């Protein structure tokens, strides 16, 4: 079964993930996709991919899955 995962990241606690989540939900609706999981991370983009959990997320995906990110 294919799944769709949304990845949201902010650098600081002063930033809002709601705008990213709204943009992803709007995109998913236009593409008739159901988001199965939201992964929310608060960490600087200057950190390594491992620290940002990118490797963990990619390991969850199979060839038919979809990963959605903003910007």
* SS3 state at 26: helix
* SS3 state at 40: strand
Question: In the structure encoding, which two tokens stand for residue 52, read together?
Answer: 């940002």
CB 37 within 8 A of CB 3: yes
pTM of the complete model beyond 0.85: no
Phi/psi of residue 6, nearest 5 degrees: -110, 130
* SS3 state at 4: strand
Tell me the pLDDT of the chain (71 aa) as tens digits: 899 999 998 877 666 788 899 999 999 999 999 999 998 888 766 767 666 677 888 888 999 999 999 87
Q: Can you give the pLDDT at residue 14?
A: 61
């Amino acid at each position: 079964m294919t799944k769709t995962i949304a990845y949201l990241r902010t650098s600081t606690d002063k930033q809002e993930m709601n705008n990213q989540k709204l943009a992803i939900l709007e995109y998913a609706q236009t593409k008739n996709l159901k988001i199965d999981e939201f992964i929310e991370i608060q960490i600087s983009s200057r950190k390594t991919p491992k620290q940002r959990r990118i490797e963990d997320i990619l390991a969850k995906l199979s060839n038919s899955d979809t990963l959605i990110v903003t910007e």
